[in-house]
Structure 1
Amino acid sequence: MKRLLSVLGSVTAIACVVAAPAHAAGPPDAVKIANGAVAVARGSTLLHTNTFGRYGCEDFVDAAYGRTTANGIPHDGAMAFYHRLAARGEGHSRLPAPLGALVFSQGEDGDHVDISMGNGQYMSGGVQGFGPGWGDGTNNQILPSANLGHWHLVGWAFAPWSATGF
């Protein structure tokens, strides 16, 4: 957690120095990564719990970003959400995904969304929906891959909303 807070502080400091060009459609990537660092810090407080149930990936991501399924990613709506972002040119199909990015995968049992920790690992809710007994047996865990089991990466995107509410 100490390292995570150090990264969060460093990314926030970088984001405060970088200003978006006047013609930019949105904030620069450094600001988006700082926003994601806030979500990763919040999501880390939910790890190793069963807070959102076996299929609560959208709920986990929404909570990490200070959202609900009403104003974030709707329950069972991960892939539709990604496709909307990709249609706006905000989707990326290759890894690595930066810190805080929303990472979307699809498998024979459905769709999934994680939060990238920026180091090749992913914070995830609803892990036991992947396969009961996986990892530490809780629903909210850190996954070692975006391509876990039968799920395969579809793409990633920065969250379209702020984790800090501004």
Structure 2
Amino acid sequence: MAAAVGSSIVLGCALAAPAQADSPGTVIAGVANGGVALARGATLLHTNKFGEYGCEDFVDAAYGRTTANGIPHDGAIAFYRQLAAKGQGHASLPAPPGALVFSQGEDGGHVDISVGNGQYESGGIQGFAPGWGDGTDNQILPSANLGSWKLVGWAYAPWSSIG
């Protein structure tokens, strides 16, 4: 059934226009990878897998990566800056489904996966918003700017395939 969920997400993604002009290959890879990642991420919601500071682990798992070949621990903002330096960063919302969305607060950086409707699959929530929502570490967030956290930017995941 996950394939059906991923397929539905991919169909919805195909209609979303990117906020900046990306190459068609980048958009197609982002859409395809994002649908699979969202389906994987959905299986992790409402759990405490990865802990209260596990946003990078959550995103890496959704994309079939680890912190060794994905986003390193405590490396969300540095990872975004690397993508932005290559012209792959986007400074304003909306972010398409499956995009990596980066925010920052006084405690550090954070990364989510855009669902595409203004909501975000997120890990490590209790680390940056203790007691928020249902109290689990992995939840859907209603905003990339939750509380004092502010959007840094978004980018398509740079990985060309899902492992």
Q: TM-score range by the shorter chain?
A: 0.7 to 0.9
Amino acid at match of 2:9: L
Partner of 1:117: 115
Partner of 1:85: 83
Amino acid at match of 2:8: V
Amino acid at match of 2:65: R
User: What TM-score comes out, normalization by structure 2 length?
Assistant: 0.87
Secondary structure, counterpart of 1:62 in structure 2: helix
Larger CA deviation: 130-139 vs 69-78 = 130-139
User: What TM-score comes out, normalization by structure 1 length?
Assistant: 0.86
2: CA distance, partners of 1:57 / 1:34:
22
User: What is the deviation of 1:11?
Assistant: 5.5
Partner of 1:21: none
Correspondence 1:56-75 to 2 at 5 A: 56-75=54-73
Q: Retained in 2: the 8 A contact 1:101–1:157?
A: yes
Amino acid at match of 1:145: S
Secondary structure, counterpart of 1:27 in structure 2: helix
Q: Retained in 2: the 8 A contact 1:105–1:113?
A: yes
User: What is the deviation of 1:163?
Assistant: 4.9
Secondary structure, counterpart of 1:55 in structure 2: coil
User: What is the deviation of 1:30?
Assistant: 3.0
Partner of 1:136: 134
User: Are 2:147 and 1:146 equivalent residues in the alignment?
Assistant: no
Q: Retained in 1: the 8 A contact 2:6–2:36?
A: no
| Distance change (3 Å), C-alpha of 1:32 and 1:6 | closer
1: CA distance, partners of 2:141 / 2:151:
13
User: Are 2:39 and 1:41 equivalent residues in the alignment?
Assistant: yes
Secondary structure, counterpart of 1:51 in structure 2: coil
User: What is the deviation of 1:69?
Assistant: 0.2
| Distance change (3 Å), C-alpha of 1:26 and 1:67 | farther
| Distance change (3 Å), C-alpha of 1:163 and 1:136 | farther
| Distance change (3 Å), C-alpha of 1:126 and 1:44 | same
2: CA distance, partners of 1:132 / 1:44:
21
Q: Retained in 2: the 8 A contact 1:11–1:33?
A: no
Q: Deviations over 1:58-89 (max 9, x none)?
A: 00000000000000000000000000000000
How many residues align? The count is 156
| Distance change (3 Å), C-alpha of 1:27 and 1:37 | same
User: What is the deviation of 1:102?
Assistant: 0.2
| Distance change (3 Å), C-alpha of 1:161 and 1:5 | closer
Secondary structure, counterpart of 1:153 in structure 2: strand
Correspondence 1:8-27 to 2 at 5 A: 8=9, 10=11, 27=25
1: CA distance, partners of 2:87 / 2:102:
15
Secondary structure, counterpart of 1:156 in structure 2: strand
Q: Retained in 2: the 8 A contact 1:36–1:100?
A: yes
* Bigger Cα Rg: 1
Seq. identity, %: 71
Unaligned runs of 5+ in 2: 16-21
